[in-house]
Structures are given as structure tokens and as C-alpha cells.
């Protein structure tokens, strides 16, 4: 029984290592100069690495500040000709990551609006002040 458990552990570790290696191949970096929200998590300004495990899962992390968030995403538009960019929705002074477009890294994902973003959007709609902001990928 111990032998089966040990073999299973080695197999699982191998899969995790392989998945980690594959995820690194699809990573992009961006320096974001403002606080922004992904889902319900507020992230500080900094340089972030965004990796995609598949077409529906993203991991956004800042190694300098030990901050990370995993999120689900929808398949976004695929446009390999355009430069990579992050698209944010801006309401007042709050930024929400909306889309990642990077054809060269095969990473095109749209993040659905969170409950927080919907609430802020409704509040700002009364003031009629929403914008879209783009940040270039490296």
C-alpha cells in the first residue's frame, strides 16, 4: 500500500511540474502603475506576470510583493497582429482588469465583471464617468 501511495505521489508531482513548465511558456509581463481589481481582490501597482493554465484559468502574480490571484476567464478575441495589452475598465479612481490580448503568447482572455465591478459601475453610471485604460505587455 505504501508503494502505491509513493508511486501516486511521484506521478502527481510529475504532472504538477509539467503543468508548471507549460504555464511558464504562456506567461506575459506587464507593469501596471495603479491599483487594480481582479475579481474581489485589490492588487497594488507593480510588475505582474500573467500565466494561463488553459483557456479558462489565469494566474496573476507580483513576485516583488508576494501578491497573486487566480481567476477564471472566457476565451477572448484572437488577434496575433496587434501588440499585447491589458484592458481595464475605469470607474472613478477604480480600475478593473477586463481583458488580456496577446496573440503572440496565445493568451486572449476576457474576465467577466465581478459583483464589485457591477456595483461600482452602477454607482458611477449615475455620475456618467467611466473609461477604458490599456497597458502594454512586455
Per-residue pLDDT tens for 82-112? 678 999 999 888 999 999 888 766 778 889 9
For the chain, give every domain's residue range. 27-136
pTM summary value: 0.70
Which of 20, 62, 21 minimizes the C-alpha distance to 38? 62
Whether the Cβ atoms of residue 135 and residue 30 lie closer than 8 Å to each other? yes
- Residue 33's pLDDT is 95
- Residue 117's pLDDT is 93
Amino acid at each position: 500500500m505504501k508503494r502505491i501511495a509513493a508511486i501516486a505521489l511521484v506521478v502527481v508531482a510529475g504532472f504538477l511540474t509539467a503543468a508548471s513548465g507549460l504555464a511558464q511558456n504562456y506567461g506575459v509581463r506587464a507593469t501596471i502603475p495603479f491599483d487594480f481589481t481582479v475579481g474581489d481582490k485589490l492588487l497594488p501597482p507593480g510588475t505582474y506576470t500573467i500565466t494561463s493554465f488553459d483557456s479558462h484559468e489565469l494566474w496573476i502574480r507580483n513576485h516583488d510583493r508576494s501578491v497573486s490571484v487566480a481567476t477564471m476567464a472566457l476565451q477572448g478575441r484572437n488577434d496575433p497582429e496587434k501588440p499585447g495589452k491589458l484592458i481595464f475598465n475605469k470607474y472613478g479612481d477604480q480600475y478593473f482588469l477586463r481583458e488580456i490580448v496577446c496573440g503572440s503568447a496565445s493568451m486572449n482572455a476576457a474576465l467577466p465583471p465581478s459583483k464589485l465591478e457591477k456595483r461600482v459601475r452602477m454607482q458611477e453610471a449615475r455620475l456618467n464617468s467611466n473609461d477604458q485604460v490599456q497597458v502594454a505587455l512586455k
